[in-house]
Amino acid sequence: MYPDREKALAKGRRKDKTFIRVFCGIFILFGIILFTAGIAVGVSSHTFRQKAEPVNAVILAMRGATSESLGTPVVEYAVDGKSYTATLNMASSSMHPGKRITVYYQKNNPREVRYLDDNGWLVALFVFMGTVFAGMGAAFWLVKRSHERKARRLLATGKVVEAEITGIREDTNNSMNGRHPIVVSCRYTAPDGRVYFFRSGSFWYESYEIGPKKKVRVYVDRNNPADYYVDVDSAIG
């Protein structure tokens, strides 16, 4: 028994919208978080430095250091003749016990100390990664919109041919809740004997929802056969 066509179409469209929103949303949100974190670290460091004084310190130990972790630097420094010991907020691969570094302490609270000399790369990394992730999400959304505009154009102006379905496979490049959309391959033999092969984009249907004896409509640009749209919806039910 074939599935209800309208229900299958509605379900597939809901899945498509959900996938776009979730995929793009995750990348854009993660990108915004990273970008914001980078800016926040940069602003915080700049604000701290404005109210701080530099002082030479010696690294006493790299607390918690292992073969896989740098550990946390514990330093000793002196302010107005008084010695202080503090654990820094960050570490670098060049740090080791006995090394002398410059740290910054708050003028009104010498115990509040940070290592700022190497955190410029951290700010740049957060901002760069944030831009990359947000850009990927935005680019995916723009590509999707471009494909939708192309489909609308071809549906309105393309030459319609009925193609024989030759294969249905899962698009493993995309997934949601452990499921994959499908890609439909098809073939059309023109009256002059020429054979054309087409492949659809990704559609959120199950392979069993496509009628095994149905043909699929393909909308082909009248001036460029390589520009086409496989209307998988036409083969549902």
Residues 6+ apart with CB under 8 A from 44: none
Residues 79 and 55: beta-carbon distance below 8 Å = yes
- What does the pLDDT read at residue 104? 94
Place of tokens 């292992």: 66
**166: pLDDT confidence band, cut at 50, 70 and 90?**
very high
- What does the pLDDT read at residue 62? 92
Predicted model pTM: 0.69
pLDDT in tens, 200-209: 999 999 988 9
- What does the pLDDT read at residue 1? 45
Residues 58 and 146: beta-carbon distance below 8 Å = no
pLDDT in tens, 34-63: 999 999 989 988 899 888 999 999 999 998
172 burial type by CB count under 10 A (0-12 exposed, 13-18 middle, 19+ buried):
exposed
**Beta pairing, strands 159-170 & 109-114:** unpaired
Angle between the 5-50 and 120-157 helix axes, to the nearest 10 degrees?
150
- What does the pLDDT read at residue 136? 95
Residues 130 and 32: beta-carbon distance below 8 Å = yes
**33: pLDDT confidence band, cut at 50, 70 and 90?**
very high
Residue 234: closest CA among 222, 209, 225, 172: 209
